[in-house]
Amino acid sequence: MSAQVSRKTRQRAATDVSRVTFVIQAENRGDVLARVVILFHRLNVDIAALYLVRRRASETMRISVTVEADRERAKRMEAHLYKVVSVVSVKIENRTRELADLTNQGEPRVRSN
């Protein structure tokens, strides 16, 4: 019986879904936004909000994507985002402390070329 209780506890912990915002720094190229949206489509993730800040003179742009996900899925999505060609860094922002700990004290990971 104790094995059943621990399974239920594990299932309940794994399904803690909350809003997660990915702040993506990428090269200022026209196809990056399409690549990011297609990635979330392929992962079967509904996008709740999407913001883009793109300045003409700048070499980078900032894309902010908000989705519903649990901690594990958010980490997998972050890993997939680094596979997009022009993505430089990804930072996970969340209102819960649990997912904020995943981002190494709020510092974005930067992909080295």
Burial class (CB in 10 A: 0-12, 13-18, 19+), 107: exposed
Q: For position 84, which CATH number holds?
A: 3.30.70.260
62 lies in some domain? yes
9 lies in some domain? no
6 lies in some domain? no
7 lies in some domain? no
pTM for this model (two decimals): 0.70
11 lies in some domain? no
* Domain count within the chain: 1
pLDDT (tens digit, 0 to 9) for every residue of the chain, 113 residues total? 445 555 555 555 556 889 999 999 999 998 999 999 999 999 999 999 999 998 888 899 999 999 999 989 999 999 999 999 899 999 998 755 444 454 454 555 666 55
4 lies in some domain? no
Q: What is the DSSP letter of 103?
A: G
